[in-house]
A and B are shown apart, each in its own frame.
Chain A
Amino acid sequence: MIEVKYFGAVAEKTKCEFETLSFSEQWSLEKLLQDLNEKYEFESLTFSVAVNQKIVSKTSDYTLQTSDIVALLPPFAGG
């Protein structure tokens, strides 16, 4: 099981601020992001991705571990 947190306009798309996802076989971060994109159609939204509170490259070949927390952080523009 991993937890995925959503912020800002990304959470508007997912209509939730977090969810837990389970996986049985190896799951890379890149694949997770592809799957989420298919599910939620982020389209033109940009965001950075953090794993366990650390921003990482979206194309990193990191293999997700049980209890990882992934966060999708879009830039905000209001002020």
Chain B
Amino acid sequence: MSSSTRYNRQIILPEIGEEGQEKLSRSKVLVIGAGGLGAAILPYLASAGVGEIGIVDHDVIEISNLQRQVIYKTEAIGKSKAKEAKAMITELNPLVKVKAISEKLSGRNAISLFEKYDIIVDATDNIAIKYLINDACLVTHKPMVYGSIFRFQGQVSVFNYKNGPTYRCLYPEENLNAANCEEAGVLGVSVGIIGMLQANEVLKMILGIGAILSGKILVYNTLNNEQQKYDFEKNDFQTITREAFEEKYNKCEVEEVSFESVLNEMDNDEVLFLDVRNVDESPKISLKNQIQIPLMHLESKLEKLDKKQTIYIFCQSGIRSKIAFELLQKHRFKNIKSIAGGALVMRNLLEEKKDSHEFTNFIF
């Protein structure tokens, strides 16, 4: 079989064999960040035959990335990292199922994404997102393979492995000030080495071989080749429930859209415009798919709303719609947005469009 020939050199390792290869092909790994670390991790996971790889990165390739993000070609400058990384993997090993996710990881998408994978790899370059990944891994019970760099030093560890110690056990103080590569500078080989150590932990975990860096942080110095391992313990106070996660990450982040950007969805039956003003307020806005529930009654009338629909909330000027947004969010509505500026902005825009005869299906 061509696939066993492809993987022959690792299959003949007694620690791996056909059985190990089977484990690899059944595994699903999500790599967050397709920068310097990701560029080292991704090709090795793909070529080893990891069955499914997800790549999360919302950035585009810049020329200053190329000295360390070695999977990208110069001609790809300006293109999506996630998509380019996917194309690279598909060329390298078409047997791998790859998903490019060109979105920013946030409290909104982290949990649903993590649930689809077995192992989460942190190849990101800022501290805030590392806490987010840690917390989402805790909620979804996934191991987090951590790597990070400061100049010629790198750190590697595996958090939440079989309920083991986490990033918060190691770094309980959430200080977001540490410098990234952009600010501190880095040589490509340094991120390559650390990324490779992360990929190694991923493969060991899938194969069930060796000792995982759980409860241990490896610190590597590329200038003198010294490496140290430090032990740390689980702190049961540093855990997080799903409710606490939602509270922390999804509370005040109201997603706003401009009315103009959703005008073309006015006739879409999957979409609902929710007016949270009182009935006596004007200007009146009457769109085809619209419902009016004043904010004060909203919580008691949630059954009138369909969670599957995209709901655009508006009020008079965009303040109450934000409160309504938070309320719906609390009740686990996912596809909701608040219309910036509210009915006043909407009226003006609809009048403009009416004058230009673009729309006729509304009344004041």
Contacts and interface: CB of A to CB of B under 8 A. Distances in A.
Which residue among A44, A53, A79 has the maximum number of chain B CB atoms within 10 Å of its CB?
A79
Contact of B232 (A5, A44, A55, A79): A55
B117 to A, nearest CB: 19
Interface stretch (B30-38, B80-88, B284-292, B328-336): B30-38
A78 B171 contact: no
A44 B150 contact: no
Interface stretch (A26-34, A60-68, A69-77): A69-77
A71 B37 CA distance: 25
Given A46-B175, A74-B178, A79 B231 contact: no
Given A76-B150, A78-B149, A79-B37, A53 B184 contact: no
Contact of B124 (A5, A8, A79): A79
Contacts of A77: 125-127, 130, 148, 150, 178-180
A76 B173 contact: no
A68 B175 CA distance: 28
Interface string B168-182: 001101010111110
A79 B191 contact: yes
B19 to A, nearest CB: 33
A54 B175 CA distance: 21
B146 to A, nearest CB: 10
Contacts of B191: 78-79
Contacts of A71: 228, 230
Contacts of B229: 53
Query: Size range of the interface on A?
Result: 20 to 34
Given A7-B153, A73-B219, A78 B228 contact: no
Interface in A14-42: none
Interface residues of B, number: 40
A7 B178 CA distance: 12
B147 A73 contact: no
B257 interface: no
A39 B151 CA distance: 24
B186 interface: yes
A76 B23 CA distance: 32
A79 B180 contact: yes
Contacts of A7: 150, 153, 219
Given A7-B153, A48-B170, A79 B230 contact: no
A75 B231 contact: no
A76 B184 CA distance: 10
B22 to A, nearest CB: 31
B123 interface: yes
A50 B230 contact: yes
Given A55-B232, A71-B228, A73-B219, A79 B170 contact: no
Given A76-B154, A76-B178, A55 B148 contact: no
18 contacts: A8-B151, A9-B150, A73-B219, A75-B171, A75-B175, A76-B149, A76-B178, A77-B130, A77-B148, A77-B179, A78-B36, A78-B125, A78-B151, A78-B180, A79-B35, A79-B38, A79-B124, A79-B191
Interface of B: 33, 35-38, 122-127, 130, 147-151, 153-155, 170-171, 173, 175, 177-181, 184, 186, 191, 217, 219, 228-233
Given A46-B171, A73-B217, A76-B149, 12 more contacts: A46-B175, A46-B178, A48-B232, A53-B228, A55-B232, A75-B127, A76-B155, A77-B178, A78-B180, A79-B33, A79-B124, A79-B148
Interface of A: 5, 7-9, 44-46, 48, 50, 53-55, 71, 73-79
